[in-house]
Amino acid sequence: MTDDKQAPASGSILVVGGGISGLTTALEAAEVGYEVFLVEKNPYLGGRVAQLKQYFPKLCPPTCGLEINFRRIKDNPRIKVLTMADVEKVSGGPGNYKVEIKVNPRYVNENCTLCGECAKACKMEVSNDFNFGMDRIKGAYLPHEMAFPARYVISPQIIGAEDAQRAKDACKYDAVDLDMTAKTLNLDVGAVVWATGWQPYDANRIDNLGYGRYPNIITNMMMERLSAPNGPTKGLIQRPSDDKAPESVAFVQCAGSRDENHLPYCSYICCMASLKQATYVREQFPDAKIYIYYIDIRTPGQRYEKFYQDIKADENIFLIKGKVAEVAEDPDTKNITVVAENAVTGEKTRQTVDMVVLATGMQPTAATTKLPADLTFNADGFIVNDFEKGGMFAAGCANKPADVMSSNQNATGMALKAIQTLVRR
Amino acid sequence: MTDKYLVEPDIGFLNEVVGLGGDTLKKCYQCATCSVACPISPDNKPFPRKEMIAAGWGLKDRLVSNADVWLCHNCGDCTTMCPRDAKPGDVMAAIRAYAITEYAQPKSIARAVNDPKKLPILLAIPALIFIVVGLITGLLDFTPGGGEIVHGKFFSTWLVDLVMIPASIWMVAIFALGLKRFIGDIHQNALATGKTDKEKIEPAEFIKALVRVIPRILKHSKFSECGENEERATSHMMVLFGFIGLFIVTGIFFVVLYIFGIHGPYSQLNPVKWLANIAGVSLVIGSALMIKNRLAKTDQVSTYKDWSLIGLALALGLTGMLTEMTRLGGAAGLSYTIYFIHLIFVFALFAYLPFSKLAHLVYRTVAMAYAEYSGRKF
């Protein structure tokens, strides 16, 4: 960057959320000369994208897009990253916000070399949230291989237990600091971009689809972790009940989306996600049969439509127009039978498969966690952008359900909106 | 796709279905959850998803002649599960109401029966017939006198039957004409949509199917399969058995009167009288429960067609029981008045039955027998 040509920075920008939208907003603003605070609640950046096996449009593994962004952050002194941090309070107005941020203790400082001795020393295991609880990890852990900041974390669950001391004793670099406490930071910023993202809709709430009752019914995000090389099975797709390689998989579209009893809106990504996951299964098990039950297949744009056409041409993939409304498990084989009416033929179909993937939708984080700022939300919890008022903006899936590509476009736009707020001050 | 199909929507039909309680039909986006949610829907060509799109497109001919709308017992399982907050159960009920008026001729009466504004006229007709025929024949005596209250002295049994027998013949005739078309239509529809492989209706086989279906109807086995409102089966059973009981009682006393020449009132110790009382009470309690259930159920649409029928059942039961009670209590004037009102409702039951929601008794039974006959897989 040519520093002499950049816009005069006045004030700084707070970006809440370190997923793909937050990263983009932060980088776009910082690379044109603005000071940015990037706040992330997890111990790592990358958000939902980091959990995928591949992502659209080019079916890259997440390393591909995230790595370059992490590199840009590392090289840019204007971005200050705060992980394990929560925004507690935002007051003031456009151009002049006062922000209170709570930074939770990581118990590991910058001396960490990723040697992993602390994890080896730990005896207790905790549920691995990164893999949706499908495996367990040590109380001292690295969230995933590509975690940025590349530093271990000590789970608060082992603090006070012997394991914490074991981890500390095992560290040759004096990186484990059990005396760390939560700190509160006060920042003055000119604009705030909320890139608080989404969470998978809680499939336990969809009574008729059997998630939580039958082990071989999983969600689409679990499928991503199952297929990802850094997942609980090192990328081998196997069904949870007996680790068997699935010979048949059913995908249930609109599981909780476009449903007045759950999420009334279309979550936008699930059709493409299931079509993509069909390719994961097909690549690993060339003889596996795939059944995709849908209301409408939504593949926006020419590229996605092309992808759909290719999937449709696959003779082992069957697309059935009709929503699955009933599931049953065979108690002996743990196979799942899905029931739907094929609306094209007008026949009720019962298909028994090894494994079922529920294409659960996106729920904005703000639907379940109240954001501590004067924002406008719609009935579903998405932040409504008020460009008249300005100052605070929502980017990516905090604003509407979107794929990575549109999130990035949107995030770039919101970086500009934030900059405009500062310049007009 | 080379198949061409020109949709010719019947807007009038569409609007009527909306008016009859099917106002949510346009919300449907054809996900077919309802067809799976329905516990009594068959596997081949299940309902109500296909009915929802046909209704949305205003395809009257595909619906009125469709036996499947009668297989639905409006339990509401589909409505509860519907992701669009549409109410397929109520749309099916609306289509049934429309179908009744299609098969019951003359249409002008069907329209009047389903119009609340015409209710006073419909009730005035029997009152007028009773008075005119009664006065001409002298079978109506406004000063019956005597110590004992005998309804036959005020309103001669001859007069009752002079009016009611033609009314029942009228009912049977209208049903017969309607059913003739109905059976032909539902068979054509089943053939056209691939619901049956039977080319013709064999009367003997059809009757056998009917015989197999009737115990199921009496037991309400289909009705009870619906999860959402099991309690509705109880009240419905009470009303149905109330009517059946009273029908049997009427038949027995008809024989007793005309063959054995024994006039009422009959002793309370008579077992037939017990049946009458039990059936009457069952009718009153059953219909009162129906009202209670409908008022409590906010996610189900209740329209005039529903209220008028339950109201009639309750009125029949109440006036019947009150006639008896006031007679036993010795309130002559009151008892005769209530008896007169009771007979008005009895007439309404017979004469307007083929045009009202109560016609489901006939159409649903026939449709269920047809489904059994044609081999629908449930």
Chain A environment of B83 (Cβ under 8 Å): 254, 258-262, 323
Is residue A3 predicted with pLDDT exceeding 60? no
pLDDT digits (tens, 9 = 90+) for A134-179: 999 999 999 999 999 999 999 999 999 999 999 999 999 999 999 9
Instruction: Identify the band that residue B231 occupies on the pLDDT scale cut at 50, 70 and 90.
Output: confident
Q: What is the pLDDT of residue B332?
A: 82
User: CA A136, A138, A139 angle in degrees (round to 5)?
Assistant: 115
Chain A environment of B84 (Cβ under 8 Å): 260
Query: Could you give the C-alpha distances from B378 to A290, B45, B47, B89, B371, in angstroms and in order?
Result: 27, 11, 11, 18, 9
Average pLDDT over all residues of chain A? 95
Which carries the bigger pLDDT value, residue A9 or residue A112? Answer: A112
Q: What is the ipTM of this complex?
A: 0.86
Contact indicator for B213, B364 with CB cutoff of 8 Å: no
Q: What is the pLDDT of residue B296?
A: 87
pLDDT digits (tens, 9 = 90+) for B253-310: 888 888 888 877 788 888 888 999 999 999 999 999 999 988 988 777 888 889 999 9
Is residue B148 predicted with pLDDT exceeding 90? no
| pLDDT over 70, % of chain B | 98
pLDDT digits (tens, 9 = 90+) for B338-378: 999 999 999 999 999 999 999 999 999 999 999 999 887 76
| pLDDT over 70, % of chain A | 97
Task: Indicate where chain A has its CATH 3.50.50.60 domain(s).
Answer: 8-104+182-198+363-423, 202-360
| pLDDT over 90, % of chain B | 56
Chain A environment of B81 (Cβ under 8 Å): 208, 261, 325
Which carries the bigger pLDDT value, residue B143 or residue A37? Answer: A37
Q: What is the pLDDT of residue A291?
A: 98
Q: Which of residues 269-308 of A touch B (CB under 8 A)?
A: 295-296
Q: How far is B25 from chain A (nearest CA, A)?
A: 15
Is residue A9 predicted with pLDDT exceeding 70? no
Chain B environment of A342 (Cβ under 8 Å): 32
Chain B environment of A323 (Cβ under 8 Å): 31-33, 36, 83
pTM for this predicted structure: 0.90
pLDDT digits (tens, 9 = 90+) for A261-282: 999 999 999 999 999 999 999 9
Chain A environment of B32 (Cβ under 8 Å): 321-323, 325, 340-343
Q: What is the pLDDT of residue A1?
A: 45
**Chain B: residues touching A (Cβ < 8 Å):** 29-37, 41-46, 49-50, 81-85, 193
Are B37 and A325 inside 8 Å of each other by CB? yes
pLDDT digits (tens, 9 = 90+) for B78-137: 999 999 999 999 999 999 999 999 999 888 999 899 889 999 999 999 999 989 988 888
Q: What is the pLDDT of residue A281?
A: 97
Q: What is the pLDDT of residue A5?
A: 43
Q: What is the mean pLDDT of residues B45-51?
A: 94
Q: What is the mean pLDDT of residues B197-204?
A: 86
Instruction: Identify the band that residue A10 occupies on the pLDDT scale cut at 50, 70 and 90.
Output: low
Are A323 and B45 inside 8 Å of each other by CB? no
B31, B45, B85 member nearest A346 (Cβ): B45
What domains appear along chain B, each with residue ranges and CATH number? 11-103 (1.10.1060.10), 107-374 (no CATH)
Interface test with chain A among B35, B43, B62, B82, by most A beta carbons within 10 Å? B35
Which carries the bigger pLDDT value, residue B226 or residue B355? Answer: B355
Q: What is the mean pLDDT of residues B183-207?
A: 89
Are B32 and A340 inside 8 Å of each other by CB? yes
**Given the DSSP bridges, would you call strands A383-384 and A248-255 parallel, antiparallel or unpaired?**
unpaired
Q: Which CATH number fits domain A8-104+182-198+363-423: 3.50.50.60, 3.30.56.10, 1.10.540.10, 3.40.50.150?
A: 3.50.50.60
Instruction: Identify the band that residue B229 occupies on the pLDDT scale cut at 50, 70 and 90.
Output: low
d(CA A293, CA A325): 10
Closest CA to B230 of B75, B72, B9, B63: B75
**Within 13 Å, how many C-alpha atoms sit on residue B304's CB side?**
13
Q: What is the mean pLDDT of residues B209-216?
A: 92
Q: What is the pLDDT of residue A8?
A: 47
Relative orientation angle of helices B360-374 and B157-192, to the nearest 10 degrees: 40
CATH code, residues A202-360: 3.50.50.60
Q: Which of residues 345-364 of A touch B (CB under 8 A)?
A: 346-348
Q: What is the pLDDT of residue A2?
A: 46
Please name the amino acid found at residue B231: E
Phi, psi of A29 (to 5 degrees): -75, -45
Q: CB contacts < 8 Å between A and B, how many?
A: 66
Are A323 and B33 inside 8 Å of each other by CB? yes
Q: Which two tokens stand for residue A82?
A: 């705060």
Are A258 and B29 inside 8 Å of each other by CB? yes
Closest CA to B225 of B98, B40, B364, B13: B40
Q: From B30, which residue of chain A is nearest by alpha-carbon distance?
A: A295
Q: From A324, which residue of chain B is nearest by alpha-carbon distance?
A: B33
Q: What is the pLDDT of residue A425?
A: 54
Q: What is the mean pLDDT of residues A42-70?
A: 95
Instruction: Identify the band that residue B331 occupies on the pLDDT scale cut at 50, 70 and 90.
Output: confident
Q: From A295, which residue of chain B is nearest by alpha-carbon distance?
A: B31
d(CA A179, CA B283): 78
d(CA A204, CA A132): 13
Is residue B197 predicted with pLDDT exceeding 90? no
Q: What is the pLDDT of residue A257?
A: 97
Q: Which two tokens stand for residue A292?
A: 């995709």
Q: Give the three-state DSSP class for B338.
A: helix
Are A295 and B30 inside 8 Å of each other by CB? yes
pLDDT digits (tens, 9 = 90+) for A344-355: 999 999 999 999
Q: How far is B78 from chain A (nearest CA, A)?
A: 10
